[in-house]
Every structure is written in structure tokens, then in C-alpha cells.
Amino acid sequence: MWTAVVMAAAMLAVVVMVAATVSVGVFTTTVSGMANTIHNDGDVVSATDCDDLSGAALGGEAAPMGSGPAAFVDRFAPLAYRTGKRYGLPPEAILAQAAFESGWAMSAPQHNYFGIKVWAGCTGGATTGTQEDTGSGMVATTATWCGYPSAQAAYDGYGAFIRSNHRYDAALQYQRDPYKYLEAIWRAGYATDGAYMAKIGPIVHQITERIKATDIIPTSDRIQFDAKAPGESGAEGSGGTVVDACSTQAATAVAAGKVGGAPENAHDYSWMCSTTGVCRDGDGFSGDRIKYPHNVGRYQCVWYAWNRLGMIHGLDGWDWVLGNGGDIARNLSGKPGWTVDATPHAGDGISQVGGALGGAPPYGHVAVVEEVQTGADGWRIRISEGNYGTGGNGAWTGYNSRWLTQSQFTGAGNVFFRYNGWKK
């Protein structure tokens, strides 16, 4: 695999990566031609997943060159979490392999962070010289590597590669143990370097410690993995085809969609009763099954929005962020694992002070995007909200749903927020 400078156990060492032996699989990748949208299996694509991270051109919100493990984990952990959850692989191991093979993203031509040779599930990229361990020493050779259009496509491609090659089946029993997982795929032929585990083990430790320190994603022992990987019978999606939504960089791309469940023309919380225990005015936090744990007063907009987002996305892998309704988007801006932008998606939160959403300064308002429609005049969204007296001119304790148009948000900036691991 790629020759790179790898930092391990706080020491710099030059490590020669060795080539993976790749068998032909059946996974295919197609392109949707739309950025910042929703996968056909419901996964969200963040604009940061589409950054050009190859070689020395790390831009946008990518990890800066030479910044090492912390920035690498902060940048790529959401992608590793998403891939690990969907394909049943420990994200710590995914990140460790990407760091090891690319030198913490210092060398990843055409987004090939994993040093995977061309196979049926990827497009041919660069052909370079490399070295392989034959058992009696390193031998110089050449190889053609996979090329990917984006970081998101590379991580998806890694998951597909592992699940499509039956030689790695034994490793799948270790989805909650990154060390045993890595040892299993190494012994199955992922790498020919006899010292592979000794080199990558300290990297796993560094990455795991960073994940625990930041809680950017859950560790593998806390993840609820999907029952079926993409492409398997009964899995969500389209028979194994992954949409690469990073093929274009249209920042204003909007996907029409609808969450479902939150009614229109209703002004109380009776529809939430069976799910959250909110059945009537006066129900408290102690009876809620999905609950925002901070005492903000019953039925305030913040309390409603986080409970509703928990209903939509589940609670695995993310947590609430404190702040008044209008503070939430600002507080999430730049926070690892979250995207805040001006493009609505069904299932987003929306946070604003004044404007179309309403909410007087300094508190503002927060709501949930239930539906997005597109047309010749732009998009319009249906939101659901608690404490709708702040914007919907109703009772302070009431529930509401209303429509807002794109023109009402002209100049509003980044008001929509989402966690990159959410599945809508």
C-alpha cells in the first residue's frame, strides 16, 4: 500500500505500507449527481464529506496537513461511524487502517485512504510502485489502486470491499473488538507485512482514546449495528448500490422528502403519547421514554425539538446540545460530527432568532423540518414546533406545524442543523 510517514505512540517512524491482495467482488457504485442530499437508503451526506482530500490538497473542513491524530479523528470519525454501523465493522479499526495507509491523510491519491487495489467495486486510479512482503523480504512491484470521487465514497468503498470478500468473513464476528478484527483481516490477506499488527496497534489506541475524550462517535462496544449490510437480502437501500452524492459540489442542492408522523392541523401533543409518554398538558419529564433531560420547562421549543429529533433518528451516536432555541445552530457550527448550513433536509433541526421561524431576541426559536418540497420558485418546508406562540401565534404550551418558503429565509444564513450519523 502507499508509502507514508505514520505517527504511532507519539513517535515518528517511516513505515512502508504493503499491498492488499484483492479478490473480485460484486459491489457496484453509481452516481446520483447531487451533493448534500439524502442517499437512497436514507443516509445523510454532509458537505464536508465532499471535500477534496487527496494528496496535499486538504481543503474546506478537512484535517489540516501535519496536524496528526486528533484532527484526523475529528474529521473522519463520522464517516467511519456511518460505514461501521452499516457494514458491521468497528469504526476504530476503520479509522486506524485509513490513518495507517494514508499517513493520517497525508497521502491519499484520489481519496484512496485504505490502500485498496482495483477490484470490481471501484474505478481504477493511480498506478504506482510499491513493495510487498513475500515472506522472505520486501519486493518492489507496481499496482493500480482504487480511485474515489470523495471521502464518503472511499469509506463506503472500504465497507463494501470487506463485506464482498468472503475471505474476511471470520473478522465480522469481531465488530465490537477493533484489535481482533484487524488481526483477522490481516491473517486473511489484507496486508502481507508480517509486522502489521505491531505497527497498527498503537494507532488503534490513539484513535480510541481520542474518540473517548471527545465522544464524537460511540465506541464500537456501544453501537447498534445494522442487521443487514447494503447489498444483502433484506437490507435497506437498493440492492447494494451506493449513491455517491459528492459527484458534484452544488451547495444549494435540495432533496424533496418527508419524515412522517407529525400531524398538520393539530395543536396538542396527543399524537406523541404512545411514543414518548407526552399525552396531555402537564406531563413531565419522568414519564417520557425519549426525553430531553434538561429542565427547560414543559413544552418549550427546545424541549420539543430534541424530543422530536430523538423520535425521528433514535438516540444512538449523538446527544443534545444546550442553548436557547436561537442559539442551537450557532452552538453546533464547527462541532465535530454536526453540519450546519442553509440547505433544508427532511429530519433537520432549524434554529433562528426572529426571521421566518420567529422567536424574539435573545432566545429565538427552534423547530424540526418535517417535509421539504421543491418547485420552480424554490423550496418550501413544513416544520413542527413546540411552544408555538413564539412563531405560530398559538398557545405557549401548544404544538403546531406550518409551512415556510425559501424566500422567507433570504439572508438568514446557516439555520439548518443535522448530525452526520443520523439516518432519516
Q: What is the pLDDT of residues 98-131, one digit of tens each?
A: 999 888 988 888 888 998 888 767 766 666 656 5
Judge whether residue 392 has pLDDT over 60.
Answer: no
Please give the domain boundaries of the chain with CATH numbers for all domains. 3-244 (1.10.530.10), 257-419 (3.90.1720.10)
Lowest-pLDDT range of 40-54, 255-269, 353-367:
40-54
pLDDT at 41 exceeding the cut of 60 = no
Mean pLDDT of the chain: 72
Q: Who contacts 199 (Cβ-Cβ below 8 Å, separation ≥6)?
A: 6, 8, 15, 100, 193
C-alpha cell at 181: 478484527
- The whole-angstrom separation of Cα 61 and Cα 58 is 8
Kindly tell me if the per-residue pLDDT of 311 is higher than 80: yes
User: Angle at CA 71, nearest 5°, toward 332 and 53?
Assistant: 95
User: In whole angstroms, what is the distance from residue 202 CA to residue 9 CA?
Assistant: 5
In terms of pLDDT, which residue wins out, 258 or 55? 258
Tell me which of 296 and 143 has the higher pLDDT.
143
At 16 the pLDDT is 29
Q: Which of 402, 418, 341 is nearest to 42 (CA)?
A: 418
Four-residue CA torsion sign, 34, 39, 42, 44: negative
Other beta carbons within 10 angstroms of residue 271's beta carbon come to: 15
Residue 339 has pLDDT above 60, yes or no: yes
Which of 218, 210, 221 minimizes the C-alpha distance to 174? 221
* Range from 117-126, 289-298, 333-342, 365-374 carrying the lowest mean pLDDT: 289-298
Question: Worst-scoring range by mean pLDDT, 16-30, 152-166, 235-249, 334-348?
Answer: 16-30
Instruction: Specify whether the CB–CB gap between 346 and 369 falls below 8 A.
Output: yes
Mean pLDDT of 229-247: 47
Q: What is the pLDDT of residues 178-199, one digit of tens each?
A: 999 999 999 998 887 889 999 9
Residue 164: per-residue pLDDT: 87
Measured over the CA atoms of residue 249, residue 254, residue 256 and residue 258, the dihedral's sign is positive
pLDDT-based confidence at 74, cuts 50/70/90? Answer: confident
Return the pLDDT at 127: 65
High-pLDDT (> 90) share of the chain, %: 23
3-state SS assignment for residue 117:
strand
Q: What are phi and psi of 195, to 5 degrees?
A: -100, 20
Region of poorest pLDDT, from 46-50, 270-274, 301-305, 308-312 = 46-50
What local confidence, expressed as pLDDT, does residue 332 receive? 87
Pick 389 or 74 by higher pLDDT: 74
Which grid cell sits at 101? 495507509
Q: What is the dihedral of CA 291, 293, 297, 299, to 10 degrees?
A: -20
**Cα(66)–Cα(75) distance, rounded to whole angstroms?**
13
Give this prediction's pTM: 0.48
- Mapped onto helix, strand or coil, the DSSP state of residue 370 is strand
Torsion of CA 159, 348, 42, 151, to 10 degrees: -30
Average pLDDT over residues 158-170: 91
Of the CA atoms within 13 Å of residue 202, those in its CB half-sphere come to 11
pLDDT for residue 178: 97
Nearest CA to 47 out of 78, 90, 87, 71 is that of: 78
Percent helix, strand, coil in the chain, to 5, is: 30, 20, 50
Handedness of CA 290, 291, 292, 296 (dihedral sign): positive
